[in-house]
Amino acid sequence: MTPDEFRRHGAELIEFIARYYETLSAGGGERRVLSEAEPGDVFNAVPPEAPEVGEDFAHVISEIDRVVMPGITHWQSPGFFGYFPASATFPAILGELLSAGLGVQGMLWQTSPACTELETRMLDWMGRAIGLPEAFLSEGDGGGVIQGTASEAALVAMVAARQRALDDRGVEETDRAALNGRLVAYASEQAHSSIVKAAMVCGIGRSNVRLVGTDGNLAMDAERLRAQVEEDARAGLIPFFVCATLGTTSTGAIDPLAEIVRIVRPTPSGGGGWVHVDGAYAGAALVCPEHRGMIEGVELADSFNFNPHKWLLVNFDCSCLWVRDRAALVNALSITPEYLRNTQSDAKAVIDYRDWQVPLGRRFRAMKLWFVMRHYGLEGLRAHIREHVRLAELFESWVRADDRFEMVAPRSLSLVCFRLKAGDGATRSLLEKVNATGEVFVTHTVIPFAGGGGEPVYAIRFAVGAVTVTEADVARAWEIITAHAT
């Protein structure tokens, strides 16, 4: 493809995307939010073998509607209230395009200084924007890095924690396997499965993760954590890692970080296990000072993660991870084959982000953060969060005012969990009917319900988060929900 052809096809594709968004924001139009594709539909729409001879690209573009679109669930639709959002915006999409256009692979500082240094600066910008202490920023001993997902962030934090626990005990490399079996990690029963998965991947094992019980709000019960940590320490085990979740996946519950750090890190100067904060969804709200109460105690945590790709206007993937001691991460993950050596790295004059992550290669993701933060400004980011919280509050008020329904957990930011008082079967059937309309999409969870004596109940999760959503869309969703409840 020549630059001129690229110009032409690129313009067509940008037009396609712009038109797509216009149809979405017109209330979804003819589009059903959830794809109706059956298993195999898209697979079978594509021939089994690649074309022997290259095809006309205009023809390929013309096939998007036939092959791809039927299998798209419209995450950016104003009727999408499922899971947590995966927000995409035009500035972010343009950042992604420029990143692809420059074709950089940023494994080392040397392989594109801009890829590394813009990322370092963006993570400092974002760290300040969400109120992280300076210790997590690059001018101190800490710093931030963009990972693909919160799961990867949890994994690298756990690997660094393991290394630190073993180094602190002066364990020789050859004895490490034996000690690995004594390492114990902690997270609440409501924590994301990625914490257990991180333990599976890094050799700690599922059985050495303690899932600590929760309180009436489904947040970690700090006293139970304390008791478990003490019991394990008495048994000769090593409590080396605790994950505090800010905004659990099911209900958005906020673990008591200030109490957790005091239990795990008994002295301000350190000692004790590594505290990782998983703020995958709720972390975005920290751009608003009124939501910063949840990070009280973060100055004693070791790592903090949230996903701008969930609720902060950056398209997937972009997961920001900060550490207070970057040396701990690098000690655990750095390995330098000869072919990667270069003057600046050898002189330790630069950051090589390959040492802060599992893969070697890395994308230029900072570009989209740069575009988004400059386009919206912090004011724009705060307005985005506040509007979604306002819409969720409104939705909550409607749930509370209708006696057929009840809240199953306190609303958390833009997430409302509710059910029909008529019970699990009725609530499940309501969700199915609402989703079958195609106009809106909501998802469910099963959680212990304080109002039902802690018994697990089926609940609908209503997560406001699509960038295109308006009050009229939330009102329409409620109209559909109540019509089917009747």
- Provide the binding-site residues for ligand PLP, judged by CB under 6 A: 84, 149-151, 192, 194, 245, 247-249, 278, 280-281, 307, 319
CB of 452 to ligand PLP, least distance (A): 24
Q: Which one, 304 or 398, has the nearer CB to ligand PLP? A: 304
Give the amino acid at 477: A
- The DSSP bridge partners found for residue 80 are 441
CB of 39 to ligand PLP, least distance (A): 23
Q: Which one, 166 or 321, has the nearer CB to ligand PLP? A: 321
CB of 84 to ligand PLP, least distance (A): 5
- Omega before 403 within 30 of 0, i.e. cis: no
Q: What is the DSSP string of 231-298?
A: HHHHTT-EEEEEEEEBS-TTT--B--HHHHHHHH--BTTB-S-EEEEE-TTGGGGGGSGGGGGGGTTG
- The DSSP bridge partners found for residue 144 are 322
Contact (Cβ atoms closer than 8 angstroms) between residue 16 and residue 37:
no
Q: Which one, 83 or 478, has the nearer CB to ligand PLP? A: 83
CB of 248 to ligand PLP, least distance (A): 6
CB of 252 to ligand PLP, least distance (A): 9
CA–CA dist 186, 259 (Å, integer): 14
Q: Which one, 112 or 250, has the nearer CB to ligand PLP? A: 250
Q: Which one, 25 or 147, has the nearer CB to ligand PLP? A: 147
CB of 87 to ligand PLP, least distance (A): 13
First to last CA, the chain: 57
Instruction: Supply the DSSP symbol for 314.
Output: -
Q: Which one, 84 or 449, has the nearer CB to ligand PLP? A: 84
Instruction: Supply the DSSP symbol for 38.
Output: P
CB of 152 to ligand PLP, least distance (A): 7
CB of 200 to ligand PLP, least distance (A): 14
CA–CA dist 276, 298 (Å, integer): 9
Contact (Cβ atoms closer than 8 angstroms) between residue 282 and residue 413:
yes
Q: Which one, 135 or 187, has the nearer CB to ligand PLP? A: 187
Output the CA torsion sign for 401, 404, 410, 414.
negative
Q: Which one, 142 or 247, has the nearer CB to ligand PLP? A: 247
CA–CA dist 302, 309 (Å, integer): 22
CB of 433 to ligand PLP, least distance (A): 25
Contact (Cβ atoms closer than 8 angstroms) between residue 444 and residue 458:
yes
Q: Which one, 119 or 278, has the nearer CB to ligand PLP? A: 278
∠ at Cα 282 (264, 296), nearest 5°?
40
CA–CA dist 188, 210 (Å, integer): 8
CB of 215 to ligand PLP, least distance (A): 17
Q: What three-state secondary structure class fits 320?
A: strand
58 contacts: CB under 8 Å, gap ≥ 6: 9, 12
Pairing of strands 415-420, 405-407: antiparallel
Q: Which one, 149 or 342, has the nearer CB to ligand PLP? A: 149
CB of 190 to ligand PLP, least distance (A): 9
197 contacts: CB under 8 Å, gap ≥ 6: 151, 154, 155
Q: Which one, 28 or 247, has the nearer CB to ligand PLP? A: 247
CA–CA dist 458, 103 (Å, integer): 46
CB of 281 to ligand PLP, least distance (A): 5
Q: Which one, 191 or 300, has the nearer CB to ligand PLP? A: 191
Burial of residue 293, with CB atoms counted within 10 A of its CB: 0-12 exposed, 13-18 middle, 19 or more buried: exposed
